[in-house]
Amino acid sequence: MRQLEPGLVAGRLDPAEYTKNFSDLHPRLGDHEALVAADRCYFCHDAPCMTACPTAIDIPLFIRQISTGNPVGSAKTIFDQNIMGGMCARVCPTETLCEEACVRNTAEERPVEIGRLQRYATDLAIDEGRQFYAPAASLGTNIAVVGAGPAGLACAHRLALHGHNVTIYEAREKAGGLNEYGIAAYKTTGDFAQREVDYILSIGGIDVLDGQMLGRDFTLADLQAKHDAVFLGMGLGGVNMLGTQGDAVNGVIDAVEFISNLREADSKADVPVGRRVVVIGGGMTAIDAAVQAKLLGAEEVTLCYRRGQEHMNASQYEQDLATSKGVVIRHWLQPKGVASHNGQVTAITLEYTLVEDGVMKGSGQLVDIKADHVLVAIGQKLDGFGIETVKLDGRKIAVDAEGRTSVPGIWAGGDCAAGGDDLTVSGVAMGRDAAESINRALAAKAAITSAVA
């Protein structure tokens, strides 16, 4: 039975409700369902869906392989381009990428279920332990990868495939990055994030050192002295907080921390949530936090965004999902202050915003929303500790088209690098492509050394 106490309370729901609320959002297709879904594909020769995929998976080919009874071969086609195809099948905004580009995506028809077909194939391969790759003969090189998130893991896997030995330095206690700590629990249920990590590492040639943070436990100079090349894929370690009057009180927390606590909890019933929750932000993290607050038993969840609906980074599908779960989305509101009593948040004051001459500004009109829990999802930022020698592009690491930074021998990719856009699939693409660049650079260096000798 739902508990009505104000403040942050754990166990608001009956056990069965937690199980139902956090069940798989899109369960894996059955064999017959997959065949029916695959049969809808036209196998277009120009494949607009493939062009829309950041990792350029050959989508018509992998769907045709499913339709001809070869789902394991389909998985290899996917993994050849995206070794984290299993997670991407769960968390990619396919509605704005491959499926939006599908020629069947019309007013009369729905697109081919590319994401669910991708999950069907990759899950089968991982469940069966089908390892398609083995490292090439060792080249005697060793590459440092900082961060075991999507970019770092994809980079490490591709480097190992080419015969390089890889050492991953991960600041947290488990590999996976935001796939492990930052994805909504209903999008990736169970321990899939770790099973995928284990699958990637099973190629061999990759060592992971947990609890090793750049700038605290080692420096870039240390890495360059020990390794032949360095890849930075540590994501965005810092978070943007409200910065308003009174925000340092109990109940005002970072939404990423809230999501991480929920993912790592032994039981969803152990995670406290407010009775009235306000989420600040308009991206995927904000949506994930808002939906999960509602699923944990919050009575009222209001998401406030400083601009209009059309400006939200969260896709229309994600917005519709939130409203279907009972989340109220309000636009043109920015936080101005937090009210509290005895150190506990009781309300948040927001200001209506408007756009004049193309510039957003406050209107001076204020509104108070009662809240005992405020989740802040207004973006993450690069923690520059330890990378002072690397040139930045705005607030991220400057990289060229191949992921090379301003420092010779150091590459970067994923959310920490300019061009990274907070998507697993983009991180995978940047890590994979940087690995190819590193491999070419080391091969050229070896050729020169051999010629001189």
3-state secondary structure 221-233: HHHHHHCCEEEEC
336 and 409 inside one domain: no
- The whole-angstrom separation of Cα 21 and Cα 11 is 13
- The answer on pLDDT for 453 being more than 80 is no
Q: Tell which of 380, 404, 432 closes a domain.
A: 380
Q: Are strands 300-304 and 359-370 parallel, antiparallel or unpaired?
A: unpaired
Query: Does the structure show a pLDDT above 60 at 385?
Result: yes
Neighbours of 401 (CB within 10 A): 8
For residue 178, being part of any structural domain is answered with yes
Q: Residues 6 or more apart from 381 whose CB is under 8 A from it?
A: 236, 238, 239, 240, 395
Do 243 and 375 lie in one domain? The reply is yes
Q: pLDDT band at 239, cuts 50/70/90?
A: confident
- Strand-pairing partners, residue 337, are 245, 349
| 389 and 373, same domain (yes or no) | no
Average pLDDT over residues 180-187: 92
Are 371 and 265 in the same domain? Answer: yes
pLDDT score of 2 more than 70: no
**What is the reported pLDDT for 247?**
86
Q: Are residues 371 and 255 in the same domain?
A: yes
9 within domain boundaries = no
Tell me what the mean pLDDT of segment 306-319 comes to.
Answer: 94
- The tens digit of pLDDT for each residue in 359-384 reads 999 999 999 999 999 999 998 889 88
* Residues 310 and 395 both lie in one domain: no
Flag whether 11 is in a domain.
no
- Tell me 241's DSSP state: -
Q: Is 305 left (phi over 0), alpha (psi -120 to 50) or beta?
A: beta
Q: Where are the beta strands (DSSP E) in 112-268?
A: 142-146, 165-170, 206-210, 229-232, 238-239, 252-254
Q: Are 154 and 433 in contact (CB under 8 A)?
A: no
- pLDDT band at residue 450, thresholds of 50, 70 and 90? confident
Is 93 inside a domain boundary?
A: yes
Spatial CA neighbour of 120 closest among 28, 251, 194: 28
What is the span of the domain harbouring residue 256? Answer: 239-380
pLDDT at 358 over 70: yes
Model confidence pLDDT, tens digit, residues 135-177: 999 999 999 999 999 999 999 999 999 999 999 999 999 999 9
Q: Are residues 328 and 410 in the same domain?
A: no
- Alpha-carbon torsion angle 315, 319, 321, 325, nearest 10: 160
Which of 345, 380, 415 lies at the terminal end of a domain, its last residue?
380
Same domain, 40 and 89: yes
The DSSP output letter for 345 is: E
φ/ψ of 166, rounded to 5, equals -125, 135
Distance CA 259, CA 44 (A): 39
pLDDT at 240: 86
Final residue in a domain of this structure, among 103, 127, 151: 127
| Same-domain check for residues 71 and 186 | no
**CB environment 1-18: b (16+ within 10 A), e (fewer):** eeeeeebbbebbbeeebb
Task: Tell whether 376 and 243 lie within a shared domain.
Answer: yes
Q: Is 136 contained in some domain? A: no
88 in Cβ contact with 62 (< 8 Å): no
190 and 227 housed in the same domain = yes
Q: What pLDDT is attached to residue 241? A: 85
77-118: pLDDT as tens digits: 999 999 999 999 999 999 999 999 999 999 999 999 999 999
Confirm whether 22 is domain-assigned: no
Q: Which residues of 57-80 are buried (b: 16+ CB within 10 A; e: fewer)?
A: bbbbbbbbbbbeeebebbbbbbbb
CATH number at residue 120: 1.10.1060.10
The type of residue at 180 is E
237 and 383 in contact (C-beta within 8 Å)? Answer: yes
209 & 255 share domain? no
Domain contains 40: yes
Give pTM, 2 decimals: 0.94
| Residue at 6 is within a domain | no
**Band of pLDDT at residue 413, cut at 50, 70 and 90:** very high
Judged against a pLDDT cut of 80, whether residue 3 lies above it is answered with no
> At 227, which CATH number?
3.50.50.60
Instruction: Find out whether 411 and 229 touch, Cβ atoms under 8 Å.
Output: yes
- Give tens-digit pLDDT for 258-311: 999 999 999 999 999 999 999 999 999 999 999 999 999 999 999 999 999 999
Count of domains for the chain: 3
Element (DSSP H or E) covering residue 381 = strand 380-381
